[in-house]
Structure 1
Amino acid sequence: MTDVVSEGAEGRRTRLLRAEGALKALTSGPASLERVRRVLEQALVYAGAACVAVYAPGQDPDVLCLVESAGVPRTLFGLRDSYPRSGHSAVADAHRSGSAVWLGPEQLAEHAESRRTPSRDFFVAALPARGDDDGGCLLAVSERREGFDTDDRKCLELIADAVGAPAPVRTAEGGELPAGSFSLAMDSGRVEVGDDILDLFALTRTEFDGKVETLLGLTVPEDLPSLMSVVEADHMSIGERELEFRVLQPAGPPKWLRLRGRLLPGGEGRPARLVGTVADASSLRSDVTDVARVQRLASALATAGTVRDVSQAVVAALRKPLRADRIALAELEGERLVVTVLDPPEPESWPELWQLEWRSEWPDAPVRAMPTLAAALREGRAQIWPADTALEPALADVGPGGLAVLPLPAAGRMAGACLIGWDAPHEFGPDERALLTASAGLAGQALMRAHAFDAEHELVGMLQRQLLPRRLPTLPGAVAVARYLPATAGLEVGGDWYDVIPLPDNHVALVIGDVQGHSTAAATLMGQMRTALRAYAVEGHPPDVVVSHANRLLLDIETDLFATCCYVDVDMEEGSAWYVRAGHLPPVLRHPDGGTEIPESDGGPPLGVMARADFPMSVLRLRPGTVIALTTDGLVESAEADIDTGMNRLARELAASDPAHLGMVADALLGNAHRGDDVALLLLRYDGMALRPLREGWTVWRVPEAVGHARRFTRRTLRSWGVPAVNRDPALLIVSELVTNALVHTDGRVRLDLTLLDNRLRVSVSDASPRTPAKPTSVSWEATGGRGILLVEAMSDTWGTVPVSGGKQVWAELALSDR
């Protein structure tokens, strides 16, 4: 037991000696706010304080004003920016009495100032700061269960003596500022600075007009956005800020300066003011290594398109130079912190809590689960904790030898955070702090840009996925496959599309097209064009009419974009195809013997360019086993090869493929895509129909004997096809009723078509009226009409109507039997 006590006492003596040594080194230099802050930070390390602040009399001698603070934001504990000297507060009591005040949760509950504190248990210590003049007061807060022990109190006494009597920052115009300090009125832009800061900007007192714009005009343009995020009041609501920037010099390279500031609220006719310090940071940059690292990071972030690209660029720029053991970069999404990159990626390299509690490859946890990290995000500046700092387990195990947290600010909010951890005890030098601060500003802005880019990419990608066919239809006598690949640059989405449209009479329309550009507008227009072409095709128009209608539609939309397309109408029964090109690539044919062909044909202009445009049709002859390949220019055109070269390469690769496995052929063709642009690919293998239907047609003339002629044509046709007599009477009745309805209720041409396939007879009557026949709900005995559709429904297995070019087609089907 004696050995244990001795060992504990030795550890305490070592802590006190280390604190004395650190304070002695810090107080050897000239007095400044920077020195005050460094002294206060020792309370976080050696006294276990969560927050520490120093107060001193201001311009109003009856008020103790905040001079500087460190640690968790003081607002979490209800600490004010000022306290009346005559009030009943820990600060005022310690200042009046000259003795330390120690308050626990019970005393705070009875204390007058406790009404402003949140409902949480913590301990408060207030110690007078000795000095030659009217001294200040040191205030410290601990959230540890035991509060401040004996050694913590001794360390705080050392720190209070080291702080001395700090001069408060002036909060109103007039008077002298401490060395290196400034005071900026947020309403007028007038700034008070000392001669030492003017020297840093290479200005004399007579040359300076007192406007902050004059100082900002001397900064390097690339650093101006980060400076503006500090000098604008609404951006300072997240707490204190620290950053480095460069100012132009009359001769030589720009000079690096470090700014630290916080916003003091106004009141009673006084404007809000930004107060802080500006110091020369050039001594921290003895060589160009850190500057070069920041420049390389800026270059990498300029080309990073996605959030993951930004994260990887930050990891590559920081981990090796800092000799860190692990880095995590996370996005802040609402109240959750979502890690996008872990380096190293192996789970065993990270704390067990990250592997078990969050249960995912990329940790995802509410920010409130890590209060220290949440406080760093609210304060908005880089936080560094040396080895053995008491942190929550989720953070302590990330960097047992030292942990740095970089909030990533952008556009007035926090975009995320970067966690950097070391296993062995790590000494944080001023050069590392400067590198981390500069990197955080760059990464935050890049992360916001990437997040916006990802959001737009996801929106347009969702549109494109919804507008393209989910699956291709099953075709009679053919197999079709399609592939779509987005580009690897830009928004990664565009206006390429494809479609396979089943048509009546065993026809199939193949469509492939490309809308100009890569944007939401291109994807939306692509959906409009695909829908329009499908509608015109289903109406029964020939290919040239379908494309002409689409051209007029695109002109009527009045968009600045144009589109190209290739439309192929394949007759599965005859083994032929008619196609039309509107500024698009021709189809590539692979014949059954392995030979390939790129047919030469005339094409029309792109859609949406000319109001009066011709779209000539060309014919293709297909044998069973022929493959038709349609593609967009993203597959065949690149910076290294023109379209002709790419089309010839596509033909060679298609010739070497095995058409029996069409999906593998499509994947192989896309394997050589350059991916600088979107790629759409549509393949159809024509196998031929094993059973071809029997077809006959009859044009019905409008004469008194028209129905009788249609019945005689039907009887003769069915007899020639060998249809049993038992099935002819129902078919003749259906023909009579459909032809009669067309002649009585429509004008113009009427046509009768008969189709027999697989022991199933189809009767179709086409007319020039788009009006669909309606089935009557009831028919009285005296009615002279209305029974026709009821008879058709009774005699057929199924019936219906479809729109066709210039009208409609009413059809009925019945299964044949030999009974």
Structure 2
Amino acid sequence: MASRVGLSVAEDRTDASAQIEQALADIVKTTGAHLGAVYLKVPEDQLLRMVRVIGVSLRVARPWSMVALAAPVPVAEAAREGHPVWVGSHVELARRFPRTALALPYDVAMLVVPLSTGDTCWGALLQLWPGTRDPDPSRQEEEATDTGARLIGELLRQAAEEGNPLPPGELRVVEPPPARYEEPGAEITERLPEGMCALDLEGRITFYNRRATELLGVDESELLGARLWEILPWLLDPVYENAYLAALFSRLPRSFTALRPPDRLLAFYLYPDATGISVRIVPTEEAAVPDEEPAPAPEGSAVPAEEPPALSFEGPASPGLAAESGDDPVAAPTVTERTRPGALYQLLHLSSALTESVGVQDVTDAVTNQILPVIDVQSLAMVTVDGGRLQVVGSRGFPQEIVDGLQDRSLSADSPEVRAIMTGIPTFHPHIEDLRRIYPNIAVSPDTAACAHLPMFASGRTIGAVVLGYNRPHFFPPDERAGLTSLAGVIAQALERARLYDTKNQVALGLQAALLPGVLPDVPGIEVAARYIPATTGMDIGGDFYDLIRLDDTSVAAVIGDVQGHNVNAAALMGQVRTAVHTHASAGAIPGEILARTNRLLVDLRSNLFTSCLYAHLDLRNHRAHLATAGHLPPVLLHPDGRTEIIDGPSGILLGIEPEAQYRTFDVPLPPGAILALFTDGLVEVPGTDLDESIAEFAGHLAEADSQSLEELTETLVRRAAQAGRRSWGNDDIALLLIKVAAV
């Protein structure tokens, strides 16, 4: 490992905390990473917390210090699944982890590895490099990272076994290397016509020349130790601080132009390294920006130049935000403050978790599993209004008696959540005594020391409230109040979409279920099992169908098909196809003729949707199957000896295209004890994989059937197909029909 760097730790170097900090410093020095962080699992909260960081200050790191373990982000994936995650650029980050790219909109490359010993994962190690580096980590970087991660994992294990684990709630900074020079070129910079200043990793000014004070229009006494955007009102907009953050995270030069009132444009050039950022300030002769136009966004910023940030919260909270906050001066701050860019991106990151939610349960899960841990809230309840009473749609952390007390509460009740709904004003109580003083009869959880009640706005009205509980006193600064209030609004919009989805989805699924056979007929000589799984994304109705038609005492017909599309038209056409096939089969037509007659019907209907269909007439007396197919996937036959056969006979074109299309009937043996599997492409098709290979893989799974019942076998086939395909169900409907011929 590389030589040691300065650390802000105790004198005792045998302490596990100091050794972990030393290991982290050694790792980033060896790999050349400019930022490193150690995250620890907090299993009881389903959370990862950053406990050590090098390369940025606490203030900068804090918005990214907590990650829900269930979140689809690199740190959580590495800790959850136990494998390294390498992301070579911000473009790749946006493609693979869009929520992380939103929360960290800087040009960086990223490597995250789990911190594990044996079967225990303690957390994850994160490193960042500039996004301009090589697209893949070098062997030296990988080896140094692996060695360091193993060392940190072992130190964490030893500390836990000795009863002195690293506290997951304590975030500490490993100090950067010391400045290279005591006097950083003071005389040289005084001779330059440009303004020069240096910022540390906190963004504070550590050096400046006289020209900088002239260009900025400030007294020398104001600069040292201050942040530019705090002492200069015209640099207060978060997009300017975002340029600093972009340089800090990416370690790449950044620049922006700002208007110093009334009419002087200044260009700022930022040059970062491991110890801080050097800033050049140059006057520019460009025309001044009109007062009504927003300042231009810095290079590399995620905020577009033509409009202000969509969620840029400004100034102190409105008077309503401070209502009922008690007499605590911190609870009702008067300091004008804007939301910091890191907090802004973190809010966007949390909000994006809700964009992936579909139904009400999805929204509830996203809030309780991904959002609640990250905003450091111990208890949460979401209530909506239905028929003049409150309905709890989701909760976590509150005792059941508190949740039961909210359920069915009348809107005439005198309670904080009802008041938030009726007035639309959020309330914040840093101490629970504030709440008791206003509502002396309210039931409060003994674990709640502070709380907030946030109205949920959607479609121009208040639909409910979010109740937050903290297990210790919690002061709400203006930016946090604005962020929580806005997050409640995002939750409300997600709930509205989810309720609409659930309503439409229930109608859709009910219609689709009505078009499928409720109970398959009981036919002597065969055993049948079917499985239908509707698509789980979107609200459209699918067109997959199956049927079993009893023809006489010794013969039965099996049908499976897939109508193109996912909408009401597809479902209607599916019902017509099923009816037509059933009618022609009952009339005694042979398989090829049944498909030809059904095809002519669909052509006459002039539908622009096409249908695949497989019809199988099973002759149980002679142990033969007569089949015809219209562009459908071939069935798979499992022979009694365990051998599988993909029955790939002659196929006609899809139904509904050519009015005179012909469909050939072909025969295959159907020995006693065999299983015939009919299925739709949703079961086997995997993007990027050859369909024939996918069908062969499914046949292999069928061949592994043991003494399972046919019902159990359908479950096994669906589960194994999912595992083999490494896919998430929801892209297409699935229909599976298994028919087992009784053994002689």
Residue in 2 that maps onto 1:517:
565
Q: Does residue 680 of structure 2 align to residue 632 of structure 1?
A: yes
**Equivalent residue runs for 1:556-635 within 5 Å:** 556-635=604-683
The aligned counterpart of 1:379 is 423
Which residue pairs with 1:354 in the alignment? 403
Identity %: 34
RMSD: 3.9
| TM-aligned CA deviation for residue 428 of structure 1 | 2.2
Within a 5 Å distance, the mapping from 1:394-413 to structure 2 comes to 396-397=444-445, 400-413=448-461
Matched, 1:671 2:728: no
**Which residue of structure 2 lines up, in the alignment, with residue 257 of structure 1?**
314
CA distance in 2, matches of 1:669, 1:411: 44
Q: Assess, with a 3 A threshold, how the Cα gap between structure 1 residues 622 and 660 changes in structure 2: closer, same or farther.
A: farther
One-letter amino acid of the counterpart of residue 377, structure 1: I
How much does 1:502 deviate? 0.4
Amino acid at match of 1:612: E
Per the alignment, do residues 321 and 648 of structure 1 end up closer, same or farther by CA in structure 2, a change over 3 Å counting? closer
1:670-716 Cα offsets, whole Å, 9 max, x none, are: 1123324221110111127x7xxxxxxxxxxxxxxxxxxxxxxxxxx
Which residue pairs with 1:284 in the alignment?
338
Structure 1 residues 126-165: aligned runs within 5 Å: none
The aligned counterpart of 1:503 is 551
Asked if structure 2 preserves the Cα contact closer than 8 Å seen for 1:256 and 1:281, the reply is no
1:490 positional shift: 3.0
Query: Kindly tell me: are residues 427 and 515 of structure 1, through their superposed partners in 2, closer, same or farther at Cα, counting changes over 3 Å?
Result: same
Work out whether residues 636 and 676 of structure 2, in 8 Å CA contact, stay in contact via their aligned partners in 1: yes
SS at match of 2:467: strand
Give the CA deviation at 1:370.
5.7
Quote the Cα distance in structure 2 between the aligned partners of 1:610 and 1:568.
Answer: 22
Deviations 1:66-109 (A, max 9, x none): xxxxxxxxxxxxxxxxxxxxxxxxxxxxxxxxxxxxxxxxxxxx
Give the conservation status (yes or no) of the 8 Å contact 2:402–2:443. Answer: no
Structure 1, unaligned stretches of length 5 or more? 1-195, 206-213, 222-245, 263-278, 691-819
Q: Are residues 298 and 658 of structure 1, via their aligned partners in 2, closer, same or farther at CA, if it must alter by over 3 Å?
A: same
> Which residue matches 2:515?
467
Provide the rounded CA distance (Å) in 2 between the counterparts of 1:350 and 1:220: 50
Tell whether 2:484 aligns with 1:436.
yes
Is contact 1:515–1:563 with CA below 8 Å preserved after alignment?
yes
> Across the two proteins, how many residue pairs are aligned to each other?
436
Paired AA for residue 520 in structure 1: V
Partners of 2:458 and 2:385 in 1: CA distance:
12
- Deviation per residue, 1:598-623 (Å, 9 max, x gap): 12311111122222211111112112
What displacement does 1:495 show? Answer: 1.7
For residues 576 and 494 of structure 1, do their structure 2 counterparts lie closer, same or farther at Cα, with a shift above 3 Å needed? Answer: same
Whether 1:330 and 2:330 are equivalent positions in the alignment is no
For residue 353 of structure 2, what is the aligned residue in structure 1? Answer: 300
In the alignment, which residue of structure 2 is the partner of 1:543? Answer: 591
Distance in 1 separating the partners of 2:574 and 2:563: 6
Query: Structure 2 vs 1, CA of residues 220 and 655 (structure 1 numbering), >3 Å: closer, same or farther?
Result: farther
- Give 3-state SS (helix, strand or coil) of 1:664's partner: helix
Q: Does 1:531 align with 2:571?
A: no
Tell whether 2:455 aligns with 1:455: no
SS in 2 for 1:672: helix
Q: TM-score with structure 2 length normalisation?
A: 0.53
Q: Which residue of 2 aligns with 1:427?
A: 475
Contact 2:612 2:631 in 1 (8 A): yes
Q: 1:566 to 1:219 in 2, by over 3 A?
A: farther
Cα offset, 1:204, TM superposition: 12
Query: CA, structure 1 residues 657+351, in 2 after alignment: closer, same or farther (shift >3 Å)?
Result: closer
- The Cα of 1:655 is off from its aligned counterpart by 1.7
- Could you tell me whether the CA contact under 8 Å between 2:363 and 2:495 is conserved in 1? yes
Q: Aligned in 2, Cα 1:200/1:252: closer, same or farther, shift over 3 Å?
A: closer
Structure 1 residues 338 and 288: alpha-carbon distance in aligned structure 2, compared to 1, 3 A threshold: same
Which structure is higher in RCO with an 8 Å CA cutoff and minimum separation 6? 2
The partner residue of 1:314 within 367, 371, 376 is 367
Mapped contact 1:398–1:422 kept (Cα < 8 A): no
Amino acid at match of 2:455: P
Q: How far did 1:567 drift? A: 0.7
Residue aligned with 1:534, SS: helix
Question: Which one of 533, 552, 555 corresponds to residue 603 of structure 2?
Answer: 555
Equivalent in the alignment of 1:82? none
Counterpart of 1:354, as a letter, is V
Other structure's SS at 1:527 match: helix
The equivalences for 1:38-187 within 5 A come to none
Aligned partner of 2:493 among 420, 445, 452: 445
Q: Is the 8 A contact 1:350 1:398 kept in 2?
A: no
Aligned residues of 1:376 and 1:383 also touching (Cα < 8 A): yes
Q: Are residues 1:483 and 2:531 paired?
A: yes
Shift of 1:528: 2.8
Q: Aligned-pair distance for 1:511?
A: 0.6
Please list every run of 5 or more consecutive structure 2 residues that lacks an aligned counterpart in the other structure.
1-232, 239-258, 263-289, 298-302, 321-332, 723-728
- The one-letter code of the counterpart of 2:388 is E
> 1:547 deviation in Å?
1.5
Distance in 2, matches of 1:321 and 1:590, equals: 51
Which letter does structure 2 place at the counterpart of 1:284?
Answer: R
CA gap 1:250/1:415 in 2 versus in 1, 3 angstroms: closer
Identify if the C-alpha distance between structure 1 residues 452 and 668 changes in structure 2 by more than 3 Å, giving closer, same or farther.
same
Q: Which TM-score applies when normalising by structure 1?
A: 0.48
Matched residue SS, 2:628? strand
SS for the counterpart of 2:358 is: coil
Distance apart, 1:437 and its partner CA:
1.9
Aligned to 1:341: 394
Q: Distance in 2 between matches of 1:343 and 1:624?
A: 55
Question: Is 2:337–2:478's contact at 8 Å kept on the other side of the alignment?
Answer: no
Deviation string, structure 1 residues 434-491 (Cα, Å, up to 9, x no partner): 1112212222222222222222221111112222222111112111111112234333
